[in-house]
């Protein structure tokens, strides 16, 4: 009898463990799909199958953010079979053992530049409340923001990659250099689009 009861209890425990495990997996899958950003147009082309895909890139420059190096890379992807060409940049954040690369389509470049410029000039006039944030997020999840939790001291700047759970703090000088890198990359892409750049060593 005791063996029979023990067997029933053991089976019940296994069933409970399986149900709980399934719920946890379902919750994690739901969270991952919720947090996933859509593919950019460049990434969509790069994931094309059944067609030849040509991918070109050229580093535009980098800036040191403490223990992290931020690099901006110009990109040109094309499908020779259709003549389609797309442009954009890759913003790469690299630190010890970690790397986060986010693609930004050319069509987003103007909005990103304007937003970085706005963030860099943010002051207390943006809100009468003691706590605020002002930020811009690209389609693929690159986010730049200014924020403060109290109306005193310096306004803080932070950069989030699409995979960085924790933002990287920026000084005003680093934010200015990031803007300059973006502007330089935009100028290079404009030359590519106009056919005035054939390549560089």
C-beta separation of 169 from 63 below 8 A: no
Model confidence pLDDT, tens digit, residues 128-147? 898 999 999 999 999 999 99
Q: Write down the domain spans for the chain.
A: 1-36, 41-194
Q: Report pLDDT digits (tens) over 64-89.
A: 998 899 999 999 999 999 999 999 99
Better pLDDT: 32 or 88: 88
Over 50: is that where the pLDDT of 54 sits? yes
Identify the bridge partners of residue 54 per DSSP, sorted by sequence position.
78
Which residue is listed with tokens 């009861």?
A: 5
Q: In sequence order, which ranges of the chain are alpha helices (DSSP H)?
A: 2-35, 41-46, 109-120, 172-194
Backbone angles phi, psi at 167, to 5 degrees: -70, 160
How much is the average pLDDT of 12-22? Answer: 47
* Per-residue confidence (pLDDT) for residue 8, from 0 to 100: 55
What pLDDT score does 28 carry? 40
Residue 55: count of CB within 10 angstroms of its CB: 11
pLDDT at 22: 44
Q: Count Cβ atoms below 10 Å from residue 136 Cβ, excluding itself.
A: 16
**30 vs 198, which has greater pLDDT?**
198
Alpha carbon 14 to its chain centroid, in Å, reads 41
């Amino acid at each position: 009898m005791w063996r029979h009861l023990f067997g029933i209890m053991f089976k019940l425990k296994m069933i409970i463990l399986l149900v709980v495990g399934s719920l946890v997996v379902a919750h994690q899958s739901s969270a991952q799909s919720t947090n996933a950003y859509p593919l950019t147009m460049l990434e969509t082309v790069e994931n094309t199958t059944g067609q030849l895909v040509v991918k070109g890139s050229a580093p535009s420059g980098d800036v040191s953010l403490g223990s992290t190096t931020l690099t901006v890379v110009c990109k040109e992807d094309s499908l020779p079979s259709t003549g389609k060409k797309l442009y954009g940049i890759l913003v790469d954040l690299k630190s010890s053992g970690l790397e986060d690369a986010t693609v930004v389509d050319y069509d987003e470049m103007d909005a990103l530049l304007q937003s970085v410029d706005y963030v860099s000039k943010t002051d207390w006039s943006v809100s009468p409340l003691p706590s605020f944030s002002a930020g811009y997020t690209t389609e693929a999840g690159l986010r730049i923001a200014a924020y403060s939790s109290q109306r005193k001291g310096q306004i803080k700047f932070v950069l989030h990659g699409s995979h960085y759970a924790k933002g990287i703090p920026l000084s005003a000088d680093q934010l200015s250099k990031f803007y300059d890198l973006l502007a330089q990359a935009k100028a290079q892409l404009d030359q590519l689009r106009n056919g005035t750049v054939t390549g560089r060593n």
